[in-house]
Amino acid sequence: MKEKYKNLFIPITLKNGAEVRNRIVMAPMTTFSGNSDGTVSEQELKYYKRRAKGLGMLITACIGVSLDGIAFPGQFTAFAENADENLKKLSEIIRNEGTKAILQIHHGGRMAVPALIPGGQAVSAGNIPSPRTPDVIPRELHEAEIDRIIEDFGKATKKAIDTGFDGVEIHGANTYLIQQFFSPHSNRRTDRWGGDIQKRMLFPMKVIDKVKRVAEEYGKKDFIVGYRFSPEEIETPGIRIEDTLVLVENLISKELDYIHISLQDIHAKPSMGSGYDKSMVEMIIDKVNGRIPVIAVGGIHTPDEALKIVEDGADMIALGRELIMEPDWVKKAEEDQEDEIAVKMSRGSKDKLVIPDALYKQIENTDGWFPFEK
């Protein structure tokens, strides 16, 4: 590889002692392609196998932890009756390449799809609908239900351990349930689960505590626990970067192995408010100050772009859409073929790129999601 890219391929040791062989991560991306019974499909296994080689970590699509939290057609679930067999196959496919296999665990909350959940009733911190799905009126969760969902995150962690994964990533981003409890838009409760920022953090912190207890009891010493979050929301009231910096301080106190900043544009500055000279990623890296590994994601395509983010302070970079378009990204970066890395998708490339049918259909039908060659 070229000398200038060496910093992308330096191993990193996480908080628990787990060694990741390089700084390149596959971001978690929904495939819409699981089997109808909630198990991982053969198409998904082939898709991940095509992309696992050479990475430091691969974070899977999010697995549903609860019946009332399914947010996507074709989402695989931790509670599916026959989940174990193909989850084991998935972890083996990833780990056989020397890549850390991370299972992202998730509850959709008010973003759950009514047709996919019991009774068609979405649940959340409160009964405030999302502006994205205004016709879905969630029901406020009762105390016992909150406790049950926390237990479900623990059960999903045990499932990850039992099926051979190296770790889990708690999905606290992208407007799903954990973020809904943290958000002043969706959480207007007046009990211990809502109110000021410290009370709104209670649910995320309880989920982390449960996941870490299960990991410590049943997992290996170097079982990885990470947390993904979105730095701000478009809603008013909503999460602002100042809130996120408080959250980050609390995440650091939980001795997590990494935090993962979820953004579409890694260079984005806070859009809610003014007077910010730095990007949100830069502000978070400054806040962390080396106390916990940080994964940054958001529109990275080339090794030069990835290198710049690492040199600016991120410990790892995650590639999402880029690894769908270019499964050989790591190989080409290592073998001085960076000029051959595809940064656009060609029409009719589904089979060549080993993309599941349902995912490719979403890609083709969603304007602006992926850049296509003309």
Would you please indicate which residues are annotated as catalytic (active-site) residues? 176
Pick the closest to residue 90 from 134, 125, 138, 44 (CA basis). Answer: 44
- Bridge partners for 295 per DSSP: 260, 316
- Bridge partners for 24 per DSSP: 317
Task: Collapse the DSSP code of 15 into the 3-class scheme (helix H, G, I; strand E, B; otherwise coil) and give the result.
Answer: coil
Other Cβ atoms closer than 10 A to 348: 9
CB neighbour class for 292 (10 Å; exposed up to 12, middle 13-18, buried from 19): buried
Q: Which residue has the tokens 């409890």?
A: 181
Contact between 307 and 4 under an 8 Å Cβ cutoff? The reply is yes
Q: Cα separation of 194 and 334, whole Å? A: 48
Crossing angle of helices 83-95 and 143-162, rounded to 10°: 50
Q: Cα separation of 321 and 22, whole Å? A: 19
Contact between 26 and 295 under an 8 Å Cβ cutoff? The reply is no
Q: Give Cβ neighbours of residue 293 (< 8 Å, ≥ 6 apart).
A: 12, 14, 15, 257, 258, 259, 315, 316
Contact between 346 and 338 under an 8 Å Cβ cutoff? The reply is no
Q: Look up residue 213 and give its two tokens.
A: 């207890």
Q: Cα separation of 209 and 154, whole Å? A: 9
- Bridge partners for 58 per DSSP: 26, 101
Contact between 61 and 358 under an 8 Å Cβ cutoff? The reply is no
